[in-house]
Amino acid sequence: MENHRSGVTITLTIIAVLGLVSFALCIAAEFKKTKKKDIKLDGKLCSLPGSHAFNFGIVALFCLIIAQIIGNAIICRNFCSREKRTGWKSKKPMVAINFLVLSWISFVIAFVLIAAATSMNKRQLYQKGWLDGDCYVVKDGIYIGSATLVLLTTSLTLISAIITRNNPIEQCWKVHAQSS
């Protein structure tokens, strides 16, 4: 039982670390994104160089997706566990589901923001800009907002996982107390 508990703790720690890495990369991308002064004009045509924000954004997305997948796997495993259903109070599953739904909403918004901003930081050639041949620059604060949503998503996923977590020590004490 102790191995199960430490395994869950390690997994929750991995989710938290992935969320923090994604957060930090979003902050770094904010400072490394292409700026208006980087635009090169040739008549009506424009060009933008690539930036490090593109790489930071890709890795931030990867970390966020992996954290969400691992967190949801834990939550699903806990919901499907037969042992959990007998000891739960009726409100715990609904609270966990509410946190899970909120985590998915913030995940989707963060994903879209990071993906769009990251794709704008890829090299944009003349007549091959981001959209319709035009060059676009990410507005200030988009990556910061995304970073905030990453923290919210990670926190909500962790809270939901903790609420649904099987606590073998408490069950052990209940079984021991009943048999005495």
More confident residue, 39 or 31: 31
pLDDT tops 80 at residue 111? yes
The model's confidence at residue 8, banded by pLDDT at 50, 70 and 90, is confident
pLDDT tops 70 at residue 172? no
What pLDDT is recorded for position 171? Answer: 42
b/e per residue, 139-172, with b = 16+ CB within 10 A? Answer: eeebbebbbebbbbbbbbbbbbbbbbbbeeeeee
Distance CA 164, CA 63 (A): 23
Of the chain, the percentage scoring pLDDT greater than 90 comes to 39
pLDDT tops 60 at residue 178? no
What pLDDT is recorded for position 90? Answer: 46
What pLDDT is recorded for position 130? Answer: 56
At 167, phi and psi to the nearest 5? -105, 95
What pLDDT is recorded for position 87? Answer: 53
Query: Within 13 Å of residue 44, how many CA atoms lie on the same side as its CB?
Result: 2
pLDDT tops 70 at residue 23? yes
pLDDT tops 70 at residue 73? yes
The model's confidence at residue 70, banded by pLDDT at 50, 70 and 90, is very high
pLDDT tens sequence across 39-51: 777 766 777 777 8
What pLDDT is recorded for position 32? Answer: 87
Q: Are strands 40-42 and 45-47 parallel, antiparallel or unpaired?
A: antiparallel
pLDDT tops 60 at residue 151? yes
